[in-house]
C-alpha cells in the first residue's frame, strides 16, 4: 500500500499532494457562461403593489395615477421643499417609478440628487409614512448595479437604516432589513461597513418565535448576504454571532427560510479550513445532510453546496461530513435529473475521494461506485468532468485493492470513452488516471491484463490518436502511456521500438530469461 | 538602417539574389552571401519596415512575395522576447509594425495576405491582447467594409489567433482573453454571419460571388467552434436560435453552382457542412442541456444529408463526421426515442450503414496498387476517419440499445447480399465482401491485436457463417480468384480465432498455408499474419493451442511456402512473412532441424541482400530473431553444429562490419554473443582476431552498440579470459578504457559495471593487478563528483563482488592504500546507509556474501577504529535480508533517464531469442546467504571467543538480534 502511494508521488503526481487534490469551489474567477440560475438572488427590488392599508395616507387609485404623472422636476422640487405632504407624495411617486415592473429609471432618479434628502426622511420618526416610502425607494435604488448601491451608501443610508431596524413599525423595520440586505450583498466592503456599524445585534433581535414568516424570510435573506462573499470573508466574531441564529432558522418549517439559511451556511463554508471548522463545530452537519435529501430543489441546492464546501476541508472535517451521512445521500443526488445537481454532487464526491484510503473505503462501502460509473457514462458533460475528477482522486489515494474494486465496478469503459471529450484538461486527467491504474496493475503483476482491457474498450486507439493532440501536455501524457505499456506487442517484447535515428531503441530493461 | 531609397534598392538586390537558383550566388563560399547579408542586417532598426515597404510598393511581384516571406520568417525568429536574452526588435519598429500590418495585409493580394496573416498571428500569440489592444477593433471595423476579400482576410487572421482556444487548458489568463474577444467580436461576427447568409440568397445565381461568400461562412463556422469550445458563452447562449437555425438550414442547402466536378477534393459546400456537423457535435457533447431543443432537428438533417450524399471520395470527411455525430447521439439514453422506431432503424441501416460499407473503387485501387497502405488501414486499424469505420461505429452505437432489432435487420441484408453473390459470383463479389464486413462489425464488440475479437454479439452464429461462407472460398481450387474475398475470409479467421472452435482452426491451417502462394500481396500477407496469430494462441497450461505435433504433417510445406512467399513480387521484405517464419520456428522447434541447412542458406542470402540498404526495421528484426532461433534449436540438440553456423554467417557478418551497416551491427554482436556462448571449450581463434576491433572507440560512440557490445565482451571474458591475458595482454588497457568511457556517463555507467564485473570475475588476478588501484580511483572520483542512485547500486554490487573474489582484507588494504581511513569512510557513508537500495536477487546475494566476509574475515574490523562500524554493518546486512527494498529516489534525480535497474548481469534483451542465461557468480560458493552469515560468525567467534557475543549483546538492536538468532538456529550453530 505504502509503496504504491510512494510510486504515485514519485512518478506521476510529483509535487501534487492530497491537499492540492482537494479543489476549492473557484478555479477561475472569469466566467464565460450566463450567470448561474441556481444561485441565490443577490439583490432584490420590491416591486409588489402594497396593500392599501400600508399606505393609509393616500386615497384610491386615481391619486396613484396622478402621482405617477408627477414630472421629475416636480419631484425634486417637492422633495427639497418644506411641505411634508408634498414630500410624501413625491417620495411615493419616486418609489412607484422605481417599483415599475420593467426597466426602472434608477440612473435618472439618482441624477436628480435626491438621495441625501431621502436618507434624511428615514430619520423622520414622526412621519412613519414618509420613512416607509423613503426606505422603499432607497431599497429599490440599492437593488441595482454596484454603482446604484454606492449612490445609496454614499448618501449616508447605512446608519439611518440600521437605526430603523428598531423602528416600532414592523413594516418599516422590514423594509430596512431589505435595504440593508441589498447593501450587504453588493460587496465585502459594504458588508463589513454594516458589520462595523453593529448591524448584527438589532437584526438578530428581530428574530423571535413570534416574527411573522414573511418578515423572517427577509431577515434570513439579509443575514445570508452578511455571510456572503470572499476576499475577505466576513469577520470571525460576526460569523460567530450569526451562526447560532442560523442554526435555529434551519429548524424552521418554512422552506424559504431554510433555503436562505442554507445559503448562508454555504457562504460561511466557502473558504479556508478555519472557517469550515467554525461551522463544523456547531454540529450542524447532520441537519445539512438531512436537508440535502430534501425533495425541494431550493433547499437541496444550498445544502449540497454547504456540504460540498465542508469536504474541501481537512480530512477530519471531511470525516465529520461522512459521519453525518453525506455518503448515504449522494447516490441519489448523483442520479438526480438536474445536471447542476449531478455536477455539484460529483464535485463533492471528488473531494471526499481525495482523502485517505479509509475514507475511500467508505465511498466503496456506501455504494457510491455504481452511481459514479453511471454518471461517468451517461451524465451531462459538466457532471462527467467532475466524475472524472472523482476517479482521478480515487486512484491517487486508494489502496491497490480499492483501485481493483473501482475497475471491477466498470469504470474503465466510460472513462476511456471520455478520452474523446472536447476538453483538454479532462483528457489530461484521464490520462493521469490511466497511469495510476497501470501503477496499481503493475504492483499486482496484472499490467498485461489491463493493457488488453484498455485495448478492448477502444482506449488504446483513442490514446494513440491523442498523440496527435495539439495540446503539448496531452500529447506527451499519451505518448508516455503508449511507450510505457503498449509499445511491445507481447509480454516477451519481441517488437522493437524505432529510435530517433531510425534504429531500434535499445532500452535496457531487466528481464530474466528461461528458455 | 534608414528608410531610404538607397537602402530599399540594396535590399531589393539582395532579396533577388536569395532567389537565384545558383547556390554559388545564394551562398558563395567566400564572399558575403545574400542570405548572410540579410541575417547580418536584420538586427538593425527599420529593417522590418523596409521589408514592409518593399512588399507594398515594389514594382516586381516576385520581390513583393519574397519580401513577405522574409518578413514572416523574420517575425517568427525574432518577435518573441525571451527572458534573459536581448530584445531583438526595437520598440519603435514593433509599434510601427503593429500599426501598419493589418491594413497592409487586407489590401494585399492573396499570396501576400496569407504570409502577413501568419505574421499577425505570430505577433498576436505574444502581444494579444495586452500589448495589442486595438487589434480586435481594427479587425471588427473591417466587417463593415462589405469587401469580402478584406473580410476573409480578417476572418482568416482571427481563426489563426483563436484556434488555440480549442486545445489550451482553462486558466484565468486564457478566459480573460476569450471574454475580451467575445465582448468585441461575438456580436459583429453574428451580424456578419446573418448578412453573409442573406447575400448568399441574393447572389444565389452568381458562382464566383458564392465562392467567396461560402469561404467566409466556413471561416465563420470555424470561429464559432473556437469561441464556443472552452465553455458556452453567454452571448452564444442568448443567440443560439440565430446560429442554430442558420446552421440547420445551411446543412440542408444545396446549390448546383457550388458542386464541384472533382471527385477527390472536398468542395466548399462539403467543407462547410462538415464544420457544421462538428459544431453540432460540440454542442451535443458539451452543452446538451441548452442544445436539447435543437438536437432532433439536427439528427434529421444530418441523416437526410447522409442519405443524399454520394460515394465520391470528396464526401468522405463530411460523411464520416456526420455518421460519427449520429453514433455519438444514439448512445445517449435520452435520445434513444429518436431512433427506436422500427422504420427509422431500418432506414438508417439500409440507407446510411449499408451503402457506406460497400467496397468502393478507391478501396479496390488501394487493394491492388497500394497494398501496404491498405493493410495498415485494414489490419492495424488506422482507419479512424474512413466511412467504413464510421459506419461500423454507428452499428456498435445502435447495438447498445437495439442489438436485437439491428441484428435482425442486418441478417436479412446479409442473406440477400449472399444470394446476390451466389447468382453470379464474378459480377457480384462485392456483395459478399459487404456481407462479411457487416457480419464482422455486427459481431465484434471488443477487439485486441493480441487476441482478435474478445467479446462477440451472441445473436450472430460465427461458426456457422465460417463453415458455410468463409471456408468454401478458401477451399476453392484457385488461390488467385476473387482476392478481396480471400483476404476477407483470412481476416475473418484471424479476428474470430477465439470464437471459432479449434477443430475448425486446424482445418483452416492447410488452407492458410496454401494461400501463402497467392499472387495478391494482401492475400499472402494476411495468410502469413493469420498463421502467426494462430501460432501464438494459448491453450491449456499456458502452452500453445496448436501443438508442434499437430503441425507435423505441414512442416515442409509451411516452410517452403513461407520462404517462397518472400520471393513474390512486392514481398521481398514483408515483415508479416518474416514474423511468421520466426513464430513457426519457435513453435515447431526440433522438427525444423532437417530443413536448417536450406533455411540458413536462404536467411543468409536474404541478410546479404537487405544489408545493402536496410529499410524495413521490423523485417530485419524478425530475420535476426529467426537466425537466433535456428542456432539455438540446432545447437541444443547438437552443440557441435555451432561451427557450421559460424561458417555460414561470418562471411556476411564481416561484410556488415566492414561496410559499417549501422542498423545491423548491434544485431550482429548479439548473434555473435549467442554463438560464442555455445562454445564449451577455449575461445576459437577466429573470435580472438576480432577482439582488438571490438575496442575501437568509433563503435562505442554509438549508443545502440553499447549494450550488445558489452554483452559480447562479457562472452569473450567468460570463455577466453586466460587467452586474453596471455595472447592479448597489451589490449587490457584498451578494455579498461572502454570501462572508463562507460563509467563517465550517467546513462551508461551500469554497462561499465557489467564489463568491470566480468573482468574481476574472470581475468586472472595477476593480469589486472597493476590496474586495480586506478579502477578504484576512477570509481571514487565519479562517486565524489556525480553520484546517482543507479551508480551507487552498481558500485555496491561491484565492491562486494571484489570482496568475494579477492577477500575482505584485500578490499580494505586497497582502499586504505588510496587514502588513509578510506575503508571506514566507504563503510560508513556508502555501504551502511545505502545497501538497502540494492535490488535484484543475485545482486543482493553478492552484497550479503561480501559484507559477511568484511564482518568475519577482515581482522582490522575487530581491532582498529573500524570496530565501531562492525555492529552497524551487521545491522545493515540483516536489514538487507529482512527489510523491504528502499526504492526512494532523491528529488533531483527524478529527471535522469534511468533505463534500468542496474545489477550484476547484462540484462540487455533486444533479440529475445538471443537471450542470455542468468549468471550467479557466488552460486556455487553460497547457497543460502543467511546460513552463510551464521556459519561465518560462528567461525569468527571460535577464533576470538567472547568478543562477538559481547558486541552483539551490548549494541545490536533487539529485532535484528531476533532475526540473527533465527539464522543461527537454522544453521544449527551457536556463538561462543
Q: Could A510 and B840 be called an inter-chain contact, meaning their C-beta atoms sit closer than 8 Å? A: yes
pLDDT tens digits, B560-569: 999 999 999 9
Q: Which domain holds residue A187?
A: 68-206
Chain A contact for B632 (CB, 8 A cutoff): yes
Q: Which A residues 388-427 touch B at CB under 8 Å?
A: 421-425
Q: Could A494 and B625 be called an inter-chain contact, meaning their C-beta atoms sit closer than 8 Å? A: yes
Neighboring chain B residues of A422 at a CB cutoff of 8 Å: 166, 229, 282, 285-286
Q: Which residue did the predictor score with more confidence, B507 or B386?
A: B507
**Cell numbers 553460497 label which residue?**
B926
Share of chain B above pLDDT 90, in %: 53
Chain A contact for B232 (CB, 8 A cutoff): yes
pLDDT at A2: 27
Mean pLDDT across B172-178:
91
pLDDT > 90? residue B362: no
Q: Could B915 and A513 be called an inter-chain contact, meaning their C-beta atoms sit closer than 8 Å? A: yes
- Please tell me which of the candidates A10, A461, A465 has its beta carbon nearest to residue B889: A10
**C-beta separation of B899 from A506 below 8 A:** no
Please give the DSSP secondary-structure letter assigned to residue B613: S
Instruction: Please report which confidence band the pLDDT of residue A38 belongs to, taking 50, 70 and 90 as the band edges.
Output: low
Residue A356's domain is classified under what CATH number? 1.25.10.10
Q: Could A496 and B915 be called an inter-chain contact, meaning their C-beta atoms sit closer than 8 Å? A: no
Q: Is residue A224 part of a domain?
A: no
How many CA atoms, within 13 angstroms, populate the side-chain half-sphere of residue A268? 32
**C-beta separation of A450 from A406 below 8 A:** no
Q: How far apart are the first and last CA of chain A?
A: 34
**What does the alpha-carbon distance between residue B496 and residue B592 come to, in Å, rounded to a whole number?**
29
Number of domains in chain A: 3
Instruction: Please report which confidence band the pLDDT of residue B191 belongs to, taking 50, 70 and 90 as the band edges.
Output: very high
Give the end of a domain, one of A164, A191, A206: A206
A253 and A168 in a single domain? The answer is no
A134 and A280 in a single domain? The answer is no
For A509, which residue in chain B has the nearest alpha carbon?
B900
Neighboring chain B residues of A455 at a CB cutoff of 8 Å: 447-450
Instruction: Extract long-range pairs of B532-539: CB within 8 Å, 24+ residues apart.
Output: B532/B576, B532/B579, B532/B580, B532/B583, B533/B452, B533/B494, B533/B497, B534/B493, B534/B497, B534/B505, B534/B508, B534/B509, B535/B580, B535/B583, B535/B584, B535/B586, B535/B587, B536/A490, B536/B450, B536/B583, B537/B497, B537/B498, B539/B502
Closest-CA distance of chain B to residue A508, Å: 5
Give the end of a domain, one of A273, A291, A324: A324
H-helix segments, A50-112: 60-68, 72-80, 84-98, 106-111
Query: What is chain B's mean pLDDT, rounded?
Result: 88
Chain A contact for B172 (CB, 8 A cutoff): yes
Cβ-based neighbour number of residue B341 at 10 Å: 10
Mean pLDDT across B81-102:
89
Instruction: Please report which confidence band the pLDDT of residue A489 belongs to, taking 50, 70 and 90 as the band edges.
Output: very low
pLDDT > 50? residue B686: yes
A194 and A313 in a single domain? The answer is no
Q: Is residue A251 part of a domain?
A: yes
A273 and A360 in a single domain? The answer is no
Interface mutation vs chain B, best among A1, A30, A389, A428, most B CBs within 10 Å: A30
Instruction: Please report which confidence band the pLDDT of residue A468 belongs to, taking 50, 70 and 90 as the band edges.
Output: confident
Q: How far apart are the first and last CA of chain B?
A: 95
Chain B contact for A445 (CB, 8 A cutoff): no
**Cell numbers 447532520 label which residue?**
A286
Instruction: Please report which confidence band the pLDDT of residue B741 belongs to, taking 50, 70 and 90 as the band edges.
Output: confident
A74 and A144 in a single domain? The answer is yes
pLDDT > 90? residue B504: yes
A479 and A332 in a single domain? The answer is yes
pLDDT at A121: 96
Query: What is chain A's mean pLDDT, rounded?
Result: 84
**Phi-psi region for residue A41, left (φ > 0), alpha (ψ -120 to 50) or beta?**
beta
Task: Determine which of A371-380, B13-22, B663-672, B965-974 has the lowest per-residue pLDDT on average.
Answer: B13-22
Mean pLDDT across B796-801:
95
pLDDT > 60? residue A506: no
pLDDT at A161: 96
**Dihedral angle at the C-alpha atoms of B387, B392, B393, B396, nearest 10 degrees?**
160
pLDDT at B32: 57
Q: Could B666 and A504 be called an inter-chain contact, meaning their C-beta atoms sit closer than 8 Å? A: yes
pLDDT > 90? residue B490: yes
A333 and A470 in a single domain? The answer is yes
Q: Could A507 and B899 be called an inter-chain contact, meaning their C-beta atoms sit closer than 8 Å? A: yes
Closest-CA distance of chain B to residue A310, Å: 25
Interface mutation vs chain A, best among B286, B441, B529, most A CBs within 10 Å: B286
A305 and A385 in a single domain? The answer is no
pLDDT at B728: 85
Q: Is residue A381 part of a domain?
A: yes
State the burial class of residue B206 (Cβ atoms within 10 Å of its Cβ: 0-12, 13-18, 19+).
middle
pLDDT at B88: 87
**What does the alpha-carbon distance between residue B582 and residue B565 come to, in Å, rounded to a whole number?**
14
Chain B contact for A381 (CB, 8 A cutoff): yes
A266 and A186 in a single domain? The answer is no
Q: How many CB pairs under 8 A join A and B?
A: 157
**What does the alpha-carbon distance between residue B120 and residue B246 come to, in Å, rounded to a whole number?**
31
Q: Is residue A1 part of a domain?
A: no
Chain A contact for B176 (CB, 8 A cutoff): yes
Chain B contact for A474 (CB, 8 A cutoff): yes
pLDDT tens digits, A177-215: 999 999 999 999 999 999 999 999 999 999 999 999 999
pLDDT > 60? residue A54: no
Q: Which residues pair with B448 in a beta bridge?
A: B452
Chain A contact for B707 (CB, 8 A cutoff): yes
Q: Could B663 and A509 be called an inter-chain contact, meaning their C-beta atoms sit closer than 8 Å? A: no
Neighboring chain B residues of A32 at a CB cutoff of 8 Å: 175, 178-179, 182, 230-234
A145 and A267 in a single domain? The answer is no
Cell of B77: 525568429
Quick one: which of A390, A328, A335 has its CA closest to A23?
A390
pLDDT tens digits, B870-904: 999 999 999 999 988 776 655 444 333 333 333 33
Q: What is the DSSP string of A257-275?
A: HHHHHHHHHHHHHSS-HHH
Q: Which residue did the predictor score with more confidence, B223 or B349?
A: B223
Task: Determine which of A222-226, A326-330, B611-615 has the lowest per-residue pLDDT on average.
Answer: B611-615
pLDDT at A494: 26
A272 and A334 in a single domain? The answer is no
Closest-CA distance of chain A to residue B330, Å: 12
Interface mutation vs chain B, best among A412, A432, A472, A506, most B CBs within 10 Å: A506
Q: Is residue A512 part of a domain?
A: no
Neighboring chain B residues of A506 at a CB cutoff of 8 Å: 666, 703-704, 706-708, 908, 910
**Phi-psi region for residue B77, left (φ > 0), alpha (ψ -120 to 50) or beta?**
alpha
pLDDT > 90? residue B510: yes
Mean pLDDT across B747-761:
90
Give the end of a domain, one of A264, A294, A324: A324
A366 and A315 in a single domain? The answer is no
Instruction: Please report which confidence band the pLDDT of residue A503 belongs to, taking 50, 70 and 90 as the band edges.
Output: very low
pLDDT tens digits, A213-247: 999 999 999 999 999 988 899 999 999 999 999 99
Q: Is residue A63 part of a domain?
A: no
pLDDT tens digits, B92-104: 999 999 999 998 9
Q: Is residue A24 part of a domain?
A: no
Q: Which residues pair with B538 in a beta bridge?
A: B544
pLDDT > 50? residue A508: no
pLDDT > 90? residue A275: yes
Q: Is residue A343 part of a domain?
A: yes
Q: Could B618 and A495 be called an inter-chain contact, meaning their C-beta atoms sit closer than 8 Å? A: yes
pLDDT at B144: 87
Amino acid at each position: 500500500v505504502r509503496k504504491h502511494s510512494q510510486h504515485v508521488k514519485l512518478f506521476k503526481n510529483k509535487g501534487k499532494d492530497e491537499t492540492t487534490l482537494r479543489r476549492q469551489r473557484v478555479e477561475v474567477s472569469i466566467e464565460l457562461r450566463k450567470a448561474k440560475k441556481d444561485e441565490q438572488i443577490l439583490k432584490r427590488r420590491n416591486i409588489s403593489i402594497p396593500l392599501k392599508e400600508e399606505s393609509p395616507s393616500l386615497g384610491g387609485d386615481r391619486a396613484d395615477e396622478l402621482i405617477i404623472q408627477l414630472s421629475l422636476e416636480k419631484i425634486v422640487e417637492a422633495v427639497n421643499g418644506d411641505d411634508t405632504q408634498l414630500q410624501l407624495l413625491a417620495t411615493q411617486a419616486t418609489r412607484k417609478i422605481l417599483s415599475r415592473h420593467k426597466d426602472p429609471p434608477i440612473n435618472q432618479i439618482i441624477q436628480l440628487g435626491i438621495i441625501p434628502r431621502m436618507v434624511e426622511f428615514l430619520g423622520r420618526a414622526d412621519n412613519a409614512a414618509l420613512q416607509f416610502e423613503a426606505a422603499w425607494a432607497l431599497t429599490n435604488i440599492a437593488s441595482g448595479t454596484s454603482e446604484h448601491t454606492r449612490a445609496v451608501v454614499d448618501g449616508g443610508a447605512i446608519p439611518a437604516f440600521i437605526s430603523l431596524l428598531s423602528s416600532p413599525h414592523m413594516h418599516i423595520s422590514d423594509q430596512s432589513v431589505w435595504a440593508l440586505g441589498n447593501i450587504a450583498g453588493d460587496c465585502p466592503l459594504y458588508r463589513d461597513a454594516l458589520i462595523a456599524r453593529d448591524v448584527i445585534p438589532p437584526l438578530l433581535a428581530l428574530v423571535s418565535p413570534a416574527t411573522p414568516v414573511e418578515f423572517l424570510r427577509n431577515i434570513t435573506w439579509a443575514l445570508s448576504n452578511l455571510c456572503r462573499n470572499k476576499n475577505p470573508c466576513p469577520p470571525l466574531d460576526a460569523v460567530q454571532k450569526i451562526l447560532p441564529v442560523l442554526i435555529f432558522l434551519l429548524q424552521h418549517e418554512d422552506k424559504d427560510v431554510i433555503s436562505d439559511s442554507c445559503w448562508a451556511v454555504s457562504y460561511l463554508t466557502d473558504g479556508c479550513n478555519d472557517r469550515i471548522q467554525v461551522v463544523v463545530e456547531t454540529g450542524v452537519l447532520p441537519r445539512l445532510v438531512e436537508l440535502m435529501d430534501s425533495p425541494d430543489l431550493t433547499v437541496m441546492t444550498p445544502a449540497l453546496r454547504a456540504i460540498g464546501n465542508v469536504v474541501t476541508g481537512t480530512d477530519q472535517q471531511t470525516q465529520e461530513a461522512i459521519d453525518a451521512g453525506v455518503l448515504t445521500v449522494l447516490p441519489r443526488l448523483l442520479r438526480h435529473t438536474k445536471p447542476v445537481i449531478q455536477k455539484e454532487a460529483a464535485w463533492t464526491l471528488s473531494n471526499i475521494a481525495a482523502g485517505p484510503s479509509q475514507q475511500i473505503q467508505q465511498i466503496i462501502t456506501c455504494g457510491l461506485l455504481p452511481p459514479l460509473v453511471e454518471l461517468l457514462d451517461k451524465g451531462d458533460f459538466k457532471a462527467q468532468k467532475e466524475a472524472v475528477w472523482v476517479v482521478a482522486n480515487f486512484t491517487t489515494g486508494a489502496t491497490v485493492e480499492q483501485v481493483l474494486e473501482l475497475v471491477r465496478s466498470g469504470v474503465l469503459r466510460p472513462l476511456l470513452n471520455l478520452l474523446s471529450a472536447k476538453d483538454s484538461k479532462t483528457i489530461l486527467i484521464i490520462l493521469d488516471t490511466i497511469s495510476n491504474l497501470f501503477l496499481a496493475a503493475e504492483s499486482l503483476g496484472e499490467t498485461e491484463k489491463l493493457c488488453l482491457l484498455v485495448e478492448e474498450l477502444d482506449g488504446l486507439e483513442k490514446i494513440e490518436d491523442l498523440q496527435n493532440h495539439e495540446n503539448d501536455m496531452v500529447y506527451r501524457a499519451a505518448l508516455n502511456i503508449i511507450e510505457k505499456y503498449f509499445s511491445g506487442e507481447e509480454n516477451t517484447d519481441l517488437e522493437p521500438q524505432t529510435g530517433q535515428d531510425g534504429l531500434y531503441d535499445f532500452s535496457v530493461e531487466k528481464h530474466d530469461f528461461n528458455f | 538602417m534608414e528608410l531610404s531609397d538607397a537602402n530599399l534598392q540594396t535590399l531589393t538586390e539582395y532579396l533577388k539574389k536569395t532567389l537565384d537558383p545558383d547556390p554559388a550566388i545564394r551562398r558563395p563560399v567566400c564572399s558575403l552571401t545574400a542570405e548572410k547579408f540579410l541575417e547580418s542586417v536584420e538586427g538593425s532598426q527599420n529593417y522590418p519596415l523596409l521589408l514592409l515597404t518593399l512588399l507594398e510598393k515594389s514594382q516586381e511581384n516576385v520581390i513583393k512575395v519574397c519580401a513577405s516571406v522574409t518578413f514572416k520568417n523574420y517575425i517568427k525568429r525574432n518577435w518573441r522576447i525571451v527572458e534573459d536574452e536581448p530584445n531583438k526588435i526595437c520598440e519603435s519598429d514593433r509599434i510601427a509594425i503593429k500599426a501598419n500590418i493589418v491594413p497592409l495585409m487586407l489590401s494585399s493580394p492573396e499570396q501576400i495576405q496569407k504570409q502577413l496573416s501568419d505574421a499577425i498571428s505570430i505577433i498576436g500569440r505574444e502581444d494579444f491582447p495586452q500589448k495589442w489592444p486595438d487589434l480586435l477593433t481594427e479587425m471588427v471595423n473591417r466587417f463593415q467594409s462589405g469587401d469580402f476579400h478584406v473580410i476573409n482576410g480578417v476572418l482568416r487572421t482571427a481563426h489563426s489567433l483563436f484556434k488555440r482556444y480549442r486545445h489550451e487548458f482553462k486558466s484565468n489568463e486564457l478566459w480573460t482573453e476569450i471574454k475580451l474577444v467575445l465582448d468585441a467580436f461575438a456580436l459583429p461576427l453574428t451580424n456578419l454571419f446573418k448578412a453573409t447568409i442573406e447575400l448568399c440568397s441574393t447572389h444565389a445565381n452568381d458562382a464566383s460571388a458564392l465562392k467567396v461568400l461560402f469561404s467566409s461562412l466556413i471561416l465563420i463556422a470555424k470561429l464559432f467552434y473556437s469561441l464556443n469550445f472552452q465553455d458556452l458563452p453567454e452571448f452564444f447562449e442568448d443567440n443560439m436560435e440565430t446560429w442554430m437555425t442558420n446552421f440547420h438550414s445551411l446543412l440542408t442547402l444545396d446549390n448546383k453552382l457550388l458542386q464541384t466536378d472533382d471527385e477527390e477534393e472536398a468542395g466548399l459546400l462539403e467543407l462547410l457542412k462538415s464544420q457544421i456537423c462538428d459544431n453540432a457535435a460540440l454542442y451535443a457533447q458539451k452543452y446538451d442541456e441548452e442544445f436539447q431543443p435543437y438536437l432532433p432537428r439536427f439528427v434529421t438533417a444530418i441523416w437526410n444529408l447522409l442519405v443524399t450524399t454520394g460515394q465520391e471520395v470528396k464526401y468522405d470527411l463530411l460523411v464520416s463526421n456526420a455518421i460519427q455525430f449520429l453514433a455519438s447521439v444514439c448512445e445517449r439514453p435520452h435520445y434513444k426515442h429518436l431512433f427506436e422506431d422500427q422504420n427509422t432503424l431500418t432506414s438508417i441501416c439500409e440507407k446510411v450503414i449499408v451503402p457506406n460499407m460497400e467496397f468502393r473503387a478507391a478501396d479496390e485501387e488501394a487493394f491492388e496498387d497500394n497494398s501496404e497502405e491498405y493493410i495498415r488501414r485494414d489490419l492495424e486499424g488506422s482507419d479512424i476517419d474512413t466511412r467504413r469505420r464510421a459506419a461500423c461505429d454507428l452499428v456498435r452505437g445502435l447495438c447498445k440499445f437495439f442489438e436485437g432489432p439491428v441484428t435482425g435487420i442486418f441478417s436479412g441484408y446479409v442473406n440477400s447480399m449472399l444470394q446476390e453473390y451466389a447468382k453470379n459470383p464474378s459480377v457480384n463479389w462485392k456483395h459478399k465482401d459487404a456481407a462479411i464486413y457487416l457480419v464482422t462489425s455486427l459481431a465484434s464488440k471488443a477487439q485486441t491485436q493480441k487476441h482478435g475479437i474478445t467479446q462477440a454479439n451472441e445473436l450472430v452464429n460465427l461458426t456457422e457463417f465460417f463453415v458455410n461462407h468463409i471456408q468454401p472460398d478458401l477451399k476453392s481450387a484457385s488461390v488467385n480468384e476473387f482476392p478481396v474475398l480471400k483476404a476477407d475470409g483470412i481476416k475473418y479467421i484471424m479476428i474470430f480465432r477465439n470464437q471459432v472452435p479449434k477443430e475448425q482452426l486446424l482445418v483452416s491451417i492447410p488452407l492458410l498455408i496454401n494461400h501463402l502462394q497467392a499472387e495478391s500481396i494482401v492475400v499472402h500477407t494476411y495468410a502469413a499474419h493469420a498463421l502467426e496469430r494462430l501460432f501464438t494462441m494459448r491453450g491449456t497450461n499456458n502452452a500453445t493451442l496448436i501443438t508442434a505435433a499437430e503441425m507435423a504433417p505441414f512442416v515442409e510445406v509451411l516452410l517452403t511456402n513461407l520462404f517462397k512467399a518472400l520471393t513474390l513480387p512486392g514481398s521481398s521484405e514483408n515483415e508479416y512473412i518474416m514474423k511468421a517464419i520466426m513464430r513457426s520456428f519457435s513453435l515447431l522447434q526440433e522438427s525444423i532441424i532437417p530443413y536448417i541447412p536450406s533455411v540458413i542458406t536462404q536467411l543468409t542470402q536474404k541478410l546479404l541482400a537487405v544489408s545493402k540498404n536496410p529499410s524495413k526495421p521490423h523485417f530485419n528484426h524478425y530475420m535476426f530473431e529467426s537466425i537466433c532461433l535456428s542456432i539455438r534449436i540446432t545447437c541444443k540438440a547438437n552443440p557441435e553444429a555451432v561451427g557450421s553456423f559460424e561458417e555460414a554467417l561470418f562471411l556476411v557478418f564481416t561484410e556488415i562490419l566492414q561496410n559499417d551497416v549501422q542498423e545491423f551491427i548491434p544485431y550482429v554482436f548479439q548473434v555473435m554473443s549467442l554463438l560464442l556462448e555455445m562454445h564449451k571449450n577455449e575461445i576459437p581463434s577466429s573470435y580472438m582476431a576480432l577482439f582488438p576491433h571490438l575496442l575501437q572507440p568509433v563503435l562505442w560512440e554509438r549508443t545502440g552498440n553499447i549494450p550488445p557490445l558489452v554483452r559480447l565482451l562479457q562472452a569473450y571474458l567468460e570463455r577466453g579470459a586466460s587467452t586474453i591475458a596471455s595472447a592479448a595482454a597489451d589490449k587490457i588497457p584498451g578494455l579498461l578504457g572502454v570501462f572508463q568511457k562507460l563509467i563517465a556517463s550517467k546513462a551508461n555507467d551500469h554497462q561499465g559495471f557489467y564489463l568491470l564485473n566480468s573482468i574481476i570475475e574472470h581475468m586472472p588476478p595477476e593480469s589486472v593487478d597493476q590496474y586495480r588501484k586506478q579502477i578504484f580511483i576512477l570509481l571514487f572520483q565519479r562517486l565524489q563528483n556525480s553520484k546517482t542512485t543507479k551508480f551507487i547500486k552498481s558500485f555496491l554490487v561491484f565492491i562486494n563482488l571484489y570482496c568475494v573474489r579477492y577477500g575482505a582484507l584485500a578490499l580494505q588494504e586497497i582502499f586504505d592504500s588510496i587514502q588513509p581511513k578510506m575503508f571506514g569512510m566507504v563503510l560508513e557513508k556508502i555501504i551502511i546507509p545505502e545497501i538497502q537500495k540494492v535490488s535484484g536477487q543475485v545482486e543482493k546475494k553478492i552484497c550479503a556474501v561480501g559484507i559477511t566476509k568484511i564482518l568475519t574475515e577482515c581482522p582490522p574490523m575487530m581491532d582498529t577504529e573500524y570496530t565501531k562500524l562492525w555492529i552497524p554493518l551487521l545491522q545493515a546486512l540483516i536489514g538487507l535480508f529482512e527489510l523491504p527494498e528502499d526504492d526512494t529516489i532523491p528529488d533531483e534525480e527524478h529527471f535522469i533517464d534511468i533505463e534500468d535497474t542496474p545489477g550484476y548481469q547484462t540484462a540487455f534483451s533486444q533479440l529475445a531469442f538471443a537471450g542470455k542465461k542468468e549468471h550467479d557468480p557466488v552460486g556455487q560458493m553460497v547457497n543460502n546467504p543467511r546460513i552463510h552469515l551464521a556459519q561465518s560468525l560462528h567461525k569468527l567467534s571460535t577464533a576470538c571467543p567472547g568478543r562477538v557475543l559481547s558486541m552483539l549483546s551490548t549494541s545490536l538492536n533487539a529485532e535484528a538480534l531476533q532475526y540473527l538468532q533465527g539464522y543461527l538456529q537454522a544453521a544449527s550453530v551457536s556463538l561462543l
